[in-house]
Amino acid sequence: MHTRFIAGHGNARLAVHRLGAGRPVVLLHGLFSSAAVNWVKYGTAQHLADAGFEAIMPDLRAHGQSDALHDPAAYPVDVLVKDLQALVGELGLDDFDLGGFSLGARTAVRAVLAGLAPRRLVLGGMGIEGLGNWSRRSAFFVNAIDRFDEIRRGDPEYLAQQFMKTMKVDRVAARLLLGSVDDTAPAELAGVTMPTLVVCGEDDDDNGNAAALAEALPDARYVAIPGTHMTSVTRPELGEAIAAFLTA
């Protein structure tokens, strides 16, 4: 794997990690995570590389090795979409696949609706409610950030707090980023016309009903894999499902 840095929206410095050689597939990680944890650590990127793909994995702004800016002006609405557009332009990608998990899936949908045109799309850890009711989900994480030092074992936010600690999340930047994410209404999903895989843990309902999301999309299939929202990304079945879909 090798890493380079590119300029995202507003010249924010974004780390982009690449593994493999072949057809490019851009992979967007989840909230508070990183490319290394979401895609590399548990073998998903290697599985795709072995299947003949190049995994292109940015650290989203405020995550991983990318800039975690504290200026509110660095977080306009859909800034992650703007960063993705900058990445696609910088790397000269004109024929590629796109996938994301949780926040990454939400960003991928928003990017397609903004005009990005991957050949195929993968949405991991996402249900239809998660796309259209971001304010509720975001409020939970904002509360976890605001109450960070008060949270104790048994509190609803405990797992989020512990994950933020493990990932050494910059909470100021993360809080600003949470406010930049926009909703996608169910009616807008008609605009996501490319073949799409919705892949979700059997015990993952954090972002709502994944099967219903697949049904609402014009050309989608739903695949359940073992795990919860936190554990499904650790399973080899995730890489297997993505590779099978992209090579079908």
What is the mean predicted confidence (pLDDT) over 11-24? 97
CATH number at residue 78: 3.40.50.1820
Query: What confidence tens digit (pLDDT) does each residue in 37-83 have?
Result: 999 999 999 999 999 999 999 999 999 999 999 999 999 999 999 99
Range of the domain at 80: 2-247
> Residue 133 above 90 pLDDT?
no
If one counts the domains in the chain, the total is 1
> What pLDDT score does 98 carry?
98
State how far the alpha carbon of 62 is from the alpha carbons of 136, 147, 172, 177, in Å.
Answer: 21, 19, 9, 7
- 14 bridge partner residues: 6
Burial class of 154 by CB neighbour count within 10 A (0 to 12, 13 to 18, 19+): exposed
pTM of the entire predicted model: 0.97
Q: Determine the straight-line distance between the first and last CA of the chain, rounded to whole angstroms.
A: 26
